[in-house]
Amino acid sequence: MGWLFPYHTSTKASLIEDVTKEITASGNIINATKSVSKGLWMLVTPKDLDAPVIVFYLMERKGTWGYKDMDESMHPYYYDVPLAWLDKAPVLSQPWRDGVIACINKKIELKAAASKIVANKAYKVKGSWKFRGYPLTELYVTSTKPCLGRVNGDIIKISRKLKAALEPLP
């Protein structure tokens, strides 16, 4: 299915309103919605089904806001759907659901790793990280909120993924 760009949707909010009206006008029931940076998740019960379906509306701006709707069976490459929704809708794509759970587990892992970082301490960097083209092997954390570090005299922002790669030096 292609992209739809309604002529009157100049903002993401107006597109969400337009999509919502279209769904309910056709007799479907919207059980829940969640707006995310790249689009909109909806838990929708189609008028001809008893169980709800998870649908993702990938949204984009090209002069006006447009969308591409994908249900779970189309395996959208977005995994930030509310976890509780998986129990409310029948499985249409187990690989996609496995991706959702893996993404959530990765976020939990990154958050746990980040909570172990303390300020004013040196860390070894695991993996193949680079800074300005050179291997990044050590980092001195200067603060945790925001999480900043010093590398060769430069102050850098430490990402969640980089936090997970830090190991305290003795």
Short-list 166, 129, 128, 131, CA closest to 147 = 166
Structural domain count of the chain: 2
User: CB–CB of 117/111 below 8 Å?
Assistant: no
Question: C-alpha distances in angstroms, 49 versus 45, 90, 104?
Answer: 7, 11, 29
**Displacement of CA 30 from its chain's centroid (Å):** 22
Q: Which domain holds residue 162?
A: 116-168
User: In the β-sheet with 138-144, what is the strand arrangement from edge to edge?
Assistant: 154-157, 147-151, 138-144, 121-125, 166-168
Final residue belonging to a domain, choices 94, 112, 130: 112
Tokens of 124: 């070894």
pLDDT tens by residue, 35-86: 998 899 999 999 988 899 999 999 988 778 899 999 999 999 999 999 999 9
25 and 84 in a single domain? The answer is: yes
Q: Is 6 helix (H, G, I), strand (E, B) or coil?
A: coil
Rg (alpha carbons) of the chain, rounded to whole number: 21
Q: Which helix (H) or strand (E) holds 138?
A: strand 138-144
Q: Please report the pLDDT score of residue 55 as a whole number.
A: 93
Indicate if the pLDDT at residue 1 is higher than 80: no
Please say whether the beta carbons of 67 and 23 come within 8 A.
no
Kindly report the pTM of this predicted structure: 0.75
Q: Are residues 72 and 125 in the same domain?
A: no
10-21 pLDDT per residue, tens: 889 999 999 999
